[in-house]
Structure 1
Amino acid sequence: MASRICVAPKRHRLSSALIAALILPVAGVAFAQDAAKPDAEAPAKPTTTSATSLETVTVTGSRIGRDTFTSVSPLQVITREETTLAGFNSTAGALQSTAVTAGSGQINNAYGGFVTNGGPGANTLGLRGMNPTRTLILLNGRRVAPAGSRGSVGSADLNVLPSAMIDHIEILKDGASSIYGSDAIAGVVNIVTRKNINEFSVEAQYNVTEDGGGDETRYSLAWGKTGDRFSISGSFEAYDRNELNLGDRDWTKCNTDYRRTVTRDTSGNVTGVGAWGSADFVDPLTGRPKCYPITGTGSNGVTINTIGTNTRAGVGAAGSVGTTFNRWRPNSSITTGLPGFEGVGGGSNNLNVRDTFDPRILNRSLISPVEVKTGFVQGAYDLQALGNAEVYFELLGNRRESSQTGYRQLSLDYARGSLLLPASLQTSLFQAPPTEISNGQPVAVRAFIGFGNDHSSQTVDFWKATGGLRGDFVWTDWRYDFMVSKARSDADYTFQSFLTDRVARSLDVVAAPGGGFACRNAADGCVAAPFLTSQVIGGVLPENWKNYVFRPVTGNTLYEESTVNFAIDGPLFSLPYGQVRGAFGVEYRHSKIDDSPSVDAVNRNLFGLTSGDPTRGNDSVKEIYGEVEVPVLSGLKGAEELIFNLSARYTDYKSYGSDNTYKIGGLWTPVNWLTLRASYGTSYRAPALFEQFLGATSGFLPASNDPCNNYGADPDASVALAANCASEGLPGNFNATSSITSIGLGGAAQGLKAETSKNFTTGIVLQPEFSKNFGDLSFAVDYYKIEVENGVARAGGANILDFCYNDPSFRAGGSYCRVVAPRAAGSNALTVQDSYFNLATDRVRGLDFTVRYVRDLGPGTLRTTLQATHFLEQSSKLFDGDPVRDVNGNVGSPSMSATLDTTYDWKNWKIRYGLEWIDSTQSYGYYGLDRETSPFKMHTEDYYLSNVSAQYKLDKWTFTGGVRNVFDAEPKTISQSGVYNRVGNAPLYSGYDYVGRSFFLNVQAKF
């Protein structure tokens, strides 16, 4: 997917038709180039239409209309034709590709089983490796409101974009808060639709994977009509993506720990290192490394087909050690100890002696399915009054229906003395404190049951209506634009959950007349829980009981945003080398969020699942902004062009008060083939509504995330970790039995502050003049630095615990431990508060490179574009006084990425080869490990993705087909270390292709 450098030292007047010819790759200043290869020295003739004549254009990154397509800041332009030729079947896929994101991780359909902002199924975009709330998405220069489900809705969902009507996309990789508002910190993406259409067109595309699952289909139609005084156009499209399950790919069928053995002598010196996987637990039942073990996070397994009791003597299962156990698996051949059961846990036993894998785990979604329907209409009418004014409007409507398949474990607590227990277990004591389902009694037995698959779904209805009036002020060269916009996202989200009160009632039984058991309280149709048998422990459960306790629950999320904007732009006065132009405006925005979880979620009645309070709040902002562009020199020796751009904005939030932001930029072209540019700006971002008002949400992390879990048996446990766990009275063989409670909460009540940032960018563009036989060569390099102060974020419960317990200061002064509550008495359970608060520092620095080469070759034209990004820093610190932690180059945060795009055009044909490269990564230094001796594989190798395609055009038909991931490159592997979430043995990272080799065909017809 190519992009373009845009530089125009010569002044040309451009029309909307010529803008479509601005197809140079990347970077920064923009220039008109050969659509039909006109004489480069001749001024381009403006193209007029019946409805509107555009003699100036506005480039993303500025509000000033100008007669040159130039930009002080780095600007990347991607056309619709390029995304089609690259094989993308959605705008979301194109925007989240390496060519745009520079290898930084994005939230896409592979995150359906994880808690993400916007809820499952949402696709968001964050530039420069920063949070999506710091990237502004525009549609025709006007902001796209957030959409999604659950309480954390704060970013635009790329699913709402009208792909069928998109002409090109402009990506500003620079801060522009003073021009566009507070959330334009890391960059701005402007989706520009096609205008002045006089045709009817249809399009269909099908992407099919070689190994099945994850296929994509899109159908669309577009139409338009332009008259003497009006223009109107619209589109409708339907996009569908099938589900891709873990069982559909070989690399996700058997998740393992993927660790290696490290042997040491009596002095602790390393004497040998094994191959990767050599330290994995070998399943005694198969003789091979265990699939889906329970020793970490990610897509690992869970304890199933097991019961927990007090520690007692018994017969151990194959692979177990010792003679006393507190975890048991049914085995009818055992007649001593605990008859009918063999020991699989307790003492120094490896957790993986237990059963951890259920084939139904492989039904989980790797890529969640989605159906999207989008309608878009735009139009304008010339009033022939009020200064050639025209009334315009846009209406966007979208429905997303997404779903996910998960897997559930059921931990069923049978009370001491329960009639549902066999006599041999009624006096057991697994846990003295009662639980929420043991009806106030001590727990005798906890049954770890593989319940099976569960399902969740989301239906998100989004619409955005925009209307406005724009024209010229009479007797002046100034223009005005008054706009009103309203957007609304209305989402229902449904998931299946055990209801705590129903599970508890079903376990409180009495003997029923005639045999069997009945609920003590059967007023609501209660169905008694099953008597504990080997079949029940194995997951064979009565359907009527499952239907009673396992119910769908539904919540609703409503997000609304209203915007009013009035802007003017035009010449202020003349200088010797041109006119000083300005743009000024005022804007008012009001937004509100109302997330209403299900009644059971609010009442904390979801057994083993997240519970939450409503998220409700609103905010408004009033802004005044101005921008001035000053042409200092032009057409002189040593100063072909020298311009400065200055912008400022006054922002007044209802919630966070007021502040000023500004940006200063300059562009200097000393000679025709050399352009230098630089800019410096500030920003002020009030926290998003969900960051302020998120209702208290209780979630759960697996017990295996407890840093003290069996710490004495871990040879790689840090000295600080062992000391900190021991200080809490925990033995080395401590076995965590309770899930970790993670409480998320908005930060408004905790004094959350607005975040501020600074953004500096400087670059150089070289376009040397060669002979026609050599071709055209362009080169651009930009340095950028973004530093956010008081950045709003959550650290993540697992990260907080990891850093807290590995901190030598621990609770005496460790910063992360401030939000970790002391362990609960009796159960030793942990509670961590993962709320939104202000990070002291969040900083990224890097370099962008672009090389473009074009030349006539044989009967056609060869175009090659190379884009590369080199992050120099991706760092942050949580509290003042903490050390700065730089994750640059770590797993999931590559320091370098690049794309190569080569096309050859001749006659009706176009052939393309695309290459995406993501640099190798490693996290050993970040976690204080030695790469040569670490038992964990915490590095990935270089990743290459090749794509080939061809396009053929007839008069009214266009056919495009090709192969993505030609060599079927699989994601790279890492070890389970409790640090990174994984899919199979690969990191959860959007830069890798989870689908594998796929084929696509796109057909377009115009009438």
Structure 2
Amino acid sequence: MASGWGCWPLHFQHAVSDPLPAHSPGAGSTAAKTLRGVPEIMIKSKIAVAIVAALALGYTSAYAQSAPSDASQQNSTQTPDTAKAKRLQAVTVTGSLIPQTEIETATPILTITAADMKARGFNTIAQALQQSSFATGTVQGMQDTNSFTTGAETLSMFGLPVGFVKYLVDGRPMGNFPGLYNGSDTFNSLSGIPMDMVDHIDILPGGQSSLYGSDAIAGVVNIVLKKHVDAPTLDARYGWYSEGGGASRRISFADSFSAGKWNSLLGIQFDSTQPIWTQDRSLTRGLNLNGTGPNVANRDYLVYSPYNNDGAPTGYYFADPNNCSKVAGNWGGTTAKYNRPGRGDYCGSFNSVGPGTLTLDSKAASLYSHNTFDVSDNLQLYGDLLYNYSEKKFANGSNTMFWNTSGVVAKSTSGYIWDPSLNGGSLVQLQHPFAPEEVGGYQHIMNKEYENSYLLTLGGKGTFGESNWDYDLGFTHSDDQLRDLSFQRLAAPMEAYYASHLLGAQQGTYSGYPVFTPDYANFYNPVSVADFKSFTGYSNSHAKTWDNLLRGQLTNASLFTLPGGDAGIAMVVEGGNEGWDSTPDPRLLQTVVVNGQTTPYYWGTSATPGAGHRSRAAATVELRMPLLQQLTADVSGRYDNYKVSGQDVHAGTYNIGLEYRPFETLLLRGRYGTAFKVPTLSDEFQRASNYYNSVNDYLNCGRLGFSGSNFQNCPQLYQTAQFTGTTVGNPALQPIKAKVWSYGVVWAPIEKMSVSVDYLHWDINNEVAQLSTDTLSNTEYLCDIGTIAPSSPTCTTAFNLITRGPGRTVNGVTLLGPISAITTPKLNVANEQVNAITANFGYERDMGGFGHLGLNVSYSDMLKHTSQAYALDPTVDLLRHPYYSTDFKSKANAALTWSRDKWTATLLANRFGRSPNYQASQSDSYEHTPGNELAGKLPSWTLYNASVTYNPIENLGLSLQVTNVFNKMPPKDNSYPSYYSPYNSDNYNPYGRGMFLEANYKFGAGGG
């Protein structure tokens, strides 16, 4: 049965190689003979036999290709002694540094094989991980075209931050992505791992810092690449979507070869994917006609006045004598004159919410090479290289490609200008999103990303003489460079165009508002493609990360004997350095003066610059002790030290795990320990980045007598004070620390069946967060009235971070000056707690002439998730406060696999639990109070994938894979306003049914 999401680690292909003596012919690959792909190792318990049997079907294809040929084994002239034979019985599992004979440990592990991923229809590593049961958290992705990392893919384990997962490639840390998640956090992207080069993936939920160091708070994902293929293998795959768009092509080739003592695997993969556009899906191609608010067309040529002609608030002024006829060709000929009841007339379209991309236009090429050279009986040299190059393009649509009057006026006037000719004088705003006909087609102005990354490892491993001591000394270097070409509006040329075509020269000010007399007849004219090009262009930004790591490990799996067997020890020392550099286009940080106002060079755009590096050193010890036949203890400890700006930032972590087997078919397990995450390089070295916002001035409102329940009566000047914000990194940040524990049970009630249930807990402190402007302002007020001592560090910090203008006296009350600027550095302030349960079930049955049947089920449920942003804030229950979290509370999947002779078929059901709808998330309540009648939860969402593979001859496999078999769209959320698509794009996708054809051919591996 395919192992997949559920069950336990059986990574024999890569694992057995570590404890092997270097002179063994299979060193670097599997040395034991295989039966149905499973090496003949000594398995100590019936529960292990049940698990191996339950997983055997999935490992047939996944691991058979990794086994050495019979000839390679016959070439061996060495006869292993007893000690070496004992090591041949052991395997190394992710989650332990010591080879062992037990395949299930105190740490729950989930394994996804290459065969699983293909049989279940996944096209990328990211898809396989994001749809696993443990990935309950929402994440930004390809649909978030306005985010900072649209071209990257990641996941959230159990709703924890994306940076809390440690990613490894063959046990070595993966390099960081150069872009910042949400413009703030350093993280890892999964988009650069070639799927056809992956052997399997191990996932360890829970804190693992005592073995793997920083970042391993939520869990560890170890991506294990192939080390050997039986024959030259060519794989070709083509896919498309029944709803249109998203056509993809992939071709890969891999081969293993030997020359004397030299063994190599070389693999290459090419990918090409066309985008899915919003117009390709009925859910996203136009306005949501069933959403909240008026069911009216988008306002594409709008003159808005805060008052109607009759004095009623908020109205539209229509000044087109041609009744929109000159712009009727825009948006595919759908622009026309419309009326919004109670507001007025305008020119618009129901289709102008786009067009944008839902998936990327991407091309990628990957190269992977694994090499070993047997220098002597006790030394093997190795070298691995993984290289990826990608080009990605995406479009925001009219969401960020528009003009309005906010660019020509001071921010305090909220985008209004004063028109003396309109109704004897009136405030107005003008807005116009650019149509595809005006930009020359949105496919020609897409944002572009170019990424070059590689991971290089060189080293040597072997055995000290005839002893039980194995060694491994290796150097790893990763490098990732990103070039970002973002399509921009140039502020000065764009405002010059609208000044000459529409607004005319500024005629002074009126009550602080700039005065213009627009030529409205010109407003209702399309912008020519040539004119559009004259005030747009690309910014060119660069970012990069790099990492060097020198690592040495000593292992002895038979250190001494205890009543339960041999104790083992592993010791690791490592040191290295890492760096990050984000260098935006200099123009993104420049300003220009337009109509007397200082504005960014690129209209409405800023950047996040920063650069820094640090060195680090660490030492790890793990001791595994079978205290009794039924009881095994695993103890590990690690000390990490980072040198940052001349300061030492350090953390010590430990883990204690127990495995109790009261009888052969039952394992009780538990572990307790600590984990940590060192502040990211961006947290430490991000340079000053500006933003604009408003904040409540609690201090001045309090001095005027407005606080608590009557704060809403405070003058508007102080209720929403406009300010310039500045965010900056903080090299003095300390590590995020966590206490983690879990306990569970693994049971094999009958042959070829296994079930596990584990309970996991996290208590995370010192989380890094950007200081809240609202909290700072409120703290300043509490310090002013003496609730917090004015001389305390808390008050001193608040006073220093808030900048005010000159003060004044009003009715005898001394007021401070208006808030003009607030600095919001990153601080160690937050706390988070999570309790979750995971369950897995595996069963495999031989049905004789009817073939083999395997079932695998995995389930995760969030029992508790609380967060406290600041020490004085209340603790928020994220499962019951949808404003703070729209994560799924539960996820489950089940895969049924059948095989017989030349046929294999798989059906996967993937269930996403309920999640809050839009109105609930906005109101932070599920209660149906007046104005909140639509608040609630969306129903669960279940998708089905299916595949069938036929082998007409031994060396050829033909596959058809279908994702989302029933073409099920996300649960429709009509509590969204009409101008939003009716679903949460961080939780769901509208891609629909995908179909993929794949052919896999092994040259010389057999025939008809």
The reply to whether TM is greater than 0.5 is yes
1:280 maps to 2:293 = yes
- Residue number in structure 2 paired with 1:78: 112
Runs of 5+ in structure 2 lacking a partner? 20-29, 59-63, 77-83, 324-336, 410-416, 436-441, 507-515, 592-599, 698-705, 789-793, 807-817, 1004-1008
Q: Measure the CA separation in 2 of the matches of 1:747 and 1:414.
A: 29
* Secondary structure of 1:62's aligned partner: coil
Partner letter of residue 76 of structure 1? Answer: L
Picking from 524, 535, 540, the partner of 1:549 is 535
Does structure 2 conserve the Cα–Cα contact (< 8 Å) formed by 1:329 and 1:343?
no
- Partner residue in 2 for 1:912: 906
Letter of the 1:947 partner, please give it.
N
Distance 1:153 1:557, change over 3 A: farther
Which residue, out of 110, 124, 129, partners 1:90? 124
Equivalent residue number for residue 137 of structure 2: 104
In the alignment, the residues of structure 2 paired with residue 935 and residue 28 of structure 1 have an alpha-carbon distance, to the nearest angstrom, of 54
Deviations 1:478-500 (A, max 9, x none): 11111111111111101122223
Tell me the equivalent position of 2:172: 142
1:780–1:727 Cα change, 3 Å: same
| C-alpha separation in 2, matches of 1:343 and 1:84 | 50
Mapped partners of 1:368, 1:350: distance in 2: 41
Partner of 1:250: 282
Does 2:402 align with 1:409? yes
Which residue pairs with 2:187 in the alignment? 155
2-side partners of 1:543 and 1:993: how far apart? 33
Whether the 8 Å contact between 2:769 and 2:869 is mirrored in structure 1 is no
Alpha-carbon contact 1:707-1:802 (below 8 Å) kept: no
Quick one: distance in 2 between partners of 1:577 and 1:870? 35
Write the letter of the residue equivalent to 1:748: N
Distance 1:854 1:602, change over 3 A: same
- State, as a whole percentage, how many aligned pairs show the same letter: 20
Residue 262 of structure 1 corresponds to which residue in structure 2?
Answer: none
Higher helix share: 2
1:956 aligns with 2:955: yes
* Alignment-derived partner of residue 888 in structure 1: 879
CA contact (8 A) 1:147 1:153 kept: no
Corresponding residue of 1:21: 38
| Counterpart contact for 1:494–1:554, Cα < 8 Å | yes
Match of 1:784 in 2: 760
Distance in 2 (CA, whole Å) between partners of 1:613 and 1:537 is 35
Contact persistence 1:84–1:960 (CA under 8 A): no
How many Å separate the matches in 2 of 1:448 and 1:333?
A: 18
2:407/2:603 contact within 8 Å kept: no
Q: Does 1:617 align with 2:612?
A: yes
CA deviation after TM superposition for structure 1 residue 823, in Å: 11
Match of 2:636 in 1: 647
The residue number in structure 2 matching 1:114 is: 147
Contact 1:487 1:562 in 2 (8 A): yes
Count of residues in correspondence between the two structures: 871
Match of 1:840 in 2: 830
In the aligned structure 2, how far is the partner of 1:78 from the partner of 1:476?
35
What is the CA-CA distance between 1:509 and the residue it aligns to?
A: 7.0
Q: Return the alpha-carbon distance in structure 2 between the equivalents of residues 107 and 822 of structure 1.
A: 34
Return the letter of the residue paired with 2:361. P
In the TM superposition, residue 206 of structure 1 has moved relative to its aligned partner by 2.0
Letter in structure 1 aligned against 2:357: S
SS at match of 2:279: helix
Match of 1:234 in 2: 266
8 Å CA contact 2:134–2:891 kept in 1: the answer is no
Q: Report Cα offsets for 1:779-833 as digits up to 9, x if no partner.
A: 11000001110112458x9xx879999x9999989999979979999xx999887
Q: Counterpart of 2:22?
A: none
CA deviation string 1:863-888 (max 9, x = no partner):
11111111101221100131211222
1:589 corresponds to 2:576:
yes
SS, match of residue 398 in structure 1: strand
- Tell me which residue corresponds to 1:526: none
Q: 1:350–1:173: structure 2 CA closer, same or farther, 3 Å change rule?
A: farther
Secondary structure, in 3 states, of the residue corresponding to 2:965? coil
CA deviation vs aligned residue, 1:346-400 (integer Å, no higher than 9, x gap) = xxx9789766757343211122322221111110000015xx2111011111112
The 3 A distance-change label for structure 1 pair 343 and 248 is closer
Superposed, which structure 2 residues align to 1:474-873 within 5 Å? Answer: 474-503=465-494, 532-534=518-520, 536-538=522-524, 540-570=526-556, 571-604=558-591, 605-612=600-607, 614-634=609-629, 639=630, 642-655=631-644, 656-699=648-691, 723-729=710-716, 743=725, 745-748=727-730, 751-769=732-750, 776-794=752-770, 836-857=826-847, 859=849, 860-873=851-864
Q: How far apart are 1:159 and its partner, in Å?
A: 1.4
SS of 1:32 mapped into structure 2: helix
Q: Distance in 1 between matches of 2:50 and 2:211?
A: 19
What is the identity, as a one-letter code, of the residue corresponding to 1:657?
V
SS of 1:763's equivalent in the other structure is strand
3-state DSSP of counterpart to 1:83: helix
Please say which of residues 871-880 and 449-458 is displaced more in the overlay. Answer: 449-458
- TM-score, scaled to structure 1: 0.77
C-alpha contact 1:621 1:654 (8 A) present in aligned 2: yes
- Partners of 1:70 and 1:215 lie apart in 2 by 41
- Contact 1:491–1:558 (CA under 8 A) maintained in structure 2: yes
Instruction: Report deviation, 1:312.
Output: 6.7
In structure 2, the residue matched to 1:284 is none
Q: 1:90 offset after TM fit, Å?
A: 1.4
Decide whether aligned partners of structure 1 residues 37 and 943 sit closer, same or farther in structure 2, where only a CA change above 3 A counts.
Answer: closer
Q: Supply the AA of the counterpart residue of 1:985.
A: P
3-state DSSP of counterpart to 2:587:
helix
- Match of 1:868, SS state, is strand
- CA drift of 1:688 comes to 0.8
Secondary structure in 1 matching 2:737: strand
- Structure 2 CA distance for aligned equivalents of residues 607 and 898 of structure 1: 46
Contact 2:286 / 2:352 at 8 angstroms: preserved in 1?
Answer: no
Alignment check: 8 A CA contact 2:237 2:251 kept: yes
In structure 2, the CA distance between the partners of 1:358 and 1:34, relative to structure 1 (3 Å rule), is: closer
Report the equivalent of 2:154: 124
Q: Deviations over 1:605-650 (max 9, x none)?
A: 344433135211112211011100001112xxxx3xx111000011
Instruction: Give 1:189 shift.
Output: 0.9
Residue 384 of structure 2: which of 387, 390, 394 is its match?
A: 394
**Structure 2 residue identity aligned to 1:759:** V
- Label 1:590 to 1:291 Cα distance change in 2 as closer, same or farther (>3 A): farther
**Partner of 2:625: helix, strand, or coil?**
strand
Match of 2:52, SS? coil
- Output the amino acid matched with 1:935: E
Structure 1 residue 998 corresponds to structure 2 residue 998: no
SS at match of 2:403: strand
Shift of 1:412: 3.8
**Kept after mapping to 2: 8 A contact 1:305/1:539:** no
Q: How does 1:162-181 map to 2 (within 5 A)?
A: 162-181=194-213
Structure 2 residue identity aligned to 1:669: R
AA of the residue aligned to 2:747: L
Give yes or no for the alignment of 1:450 onto 2:439.
no
In structure 2, distance between residues paired with 1:544 and 1:947: 47
Provide closer, same or farther for how the CA distance between residues 62 and 36 of structure 1 changes in structure 2, counting only shifts above 3 A: closer
- Structure 1 counterpart of 2:565, which letter? G
Flag the 1:830–1:235 CA change in 2: closer, same or farther, 3 A: farther
Does the C-alpha gap of structure 1 residues 468 and 811 become closer, same or farther in structure 2, counting only changes over 3 Å?
A: farther
Task: State the one-letter code of the partner of 1:127.
Answer: M
Alignment partner, residue 378 of structure 1: 370
240-249 or 666-675, which deviates more: 240-249
AA of the residue aligned to 1:568: L
Aligned 8 A contact 2:837 2:860 in 1: yes
Unaligned runs of 5+ in 1: 39-43, 259-276, 282-288, 293-302, 316-321, 335-341, 417-423, 433-442, 520-529, 709-718, 771-775
For residues 572-594 of structure 1, what are the alpha-carbon distances to aligned partners after superposition, in whole Å with 9 as ceiling and x for unaligned? 22223321111001111311111
Matches within 5 A, 1:344-355: none
- Using the TM superposition, give the Cα deviation of residue 4 of structure 1 relative to its aligned residue in structure 2, in angstroms: 4.7
Q: 1:548 to 1:30 in 2, by over 3 A?
A: farther
Give RMSD over aligned pairs: 4.6
